[in-house]
């Protein structure tokens, strides 16, 4: 097998520009150099069996403690759900992304307040090395409107 690094290029190949694939450039649009996109606020996605509200967090620039960030995010989530005909009681799964495990315990009363009539499945993701400017707490809310066809085990 020939090592291609040592093979001289043909003159005919000199005019070929090796541009990235167009679909990759479209996916990279708006991203900073590190490849991660900047938060642009919450996103609402309709799924075949419900709704997903992702990227819920307190408004940027607000100097709030973790509990107030939690409340602000849930208030925004409640408004977004209401715009689509749902309420927090309809949430079936709650994904919670935290940067401060010690401060998370203080958020429990807010969870009890906002989810007084429901008990969504809670998935907790702890980002130990949270960078500056990243919220202490953020959420994704999932509303599943159709039950699985399978019977419980």
Q: What is the largest CA-CA distance in the chain?
A: 72
Helices marked H in the chain:
22-28, 66-83, 101-104, 108-114
120-153 residue pLDDT tens: 999 999 988 877 777 899 999 999 986 654 544 4
Name every residue whose Cβ is closer than 8 Å to that of residue 130 and which is 6 or more positions away in sequence: 99, 100, 136
22-76 residue pLDDT tens: 433 433 344 444 445 555 689 999 988 999 999 999 987 668 899 999 999 999 9
At 116 the pLDDT is 93
Q: Choose among 127, 142, 130: nearest CA to 55.
A: 142
Q: What is the mean pLDDT of residues 3-21?
A: 46
Question: What mean pLDDT, rounded, does the chain reach?
Answer: 78
At 108 the pLDDT is 95
**Cβ count near 84 (within 10 Å):** 13
> Which is more confidently placed, 7 or 70?
70
At 29 the pLDDT is 43
- Write the burial class of residue 136 (CB in 10 Å: 0-12 exposed, 13-18 middle, 19+ buried): buried
Residue whose structure tokens are 């167009």? 22
């Amino acid at each position: 097998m020939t090592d291609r690094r040592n093979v001289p290029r043909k003159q005919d190949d000199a005019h070929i520009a090796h541009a990235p694939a167009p679909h990759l450039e479209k996916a990279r649009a708006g991203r900073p150099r590190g490849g991660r996109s900047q938060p642009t606020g919450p996103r609402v996605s309709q799924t075949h069996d419900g709704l997903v509200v992702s990227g819920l967090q307190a408004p940027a620039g607000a100097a709030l403690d973790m509990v107030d960030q939690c409340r602000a995010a849930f208030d925004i989530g409640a408004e977004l759900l209401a715009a689509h005909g749902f309420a927090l009681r309809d949430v079936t799964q709650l994904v919670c992304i935290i940067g401060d495990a010690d401060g998370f315990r203080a958020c429990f009363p807010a969870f009890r307040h906002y989810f007084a009539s429901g008990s969504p499945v809670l998935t907790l993701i702890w980002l130990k090395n949270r960078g500056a400017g990243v919220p202490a707490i953020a959420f994704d809310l999932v509303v599943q409107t159709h039950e699985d066809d399978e019977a419980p085990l």
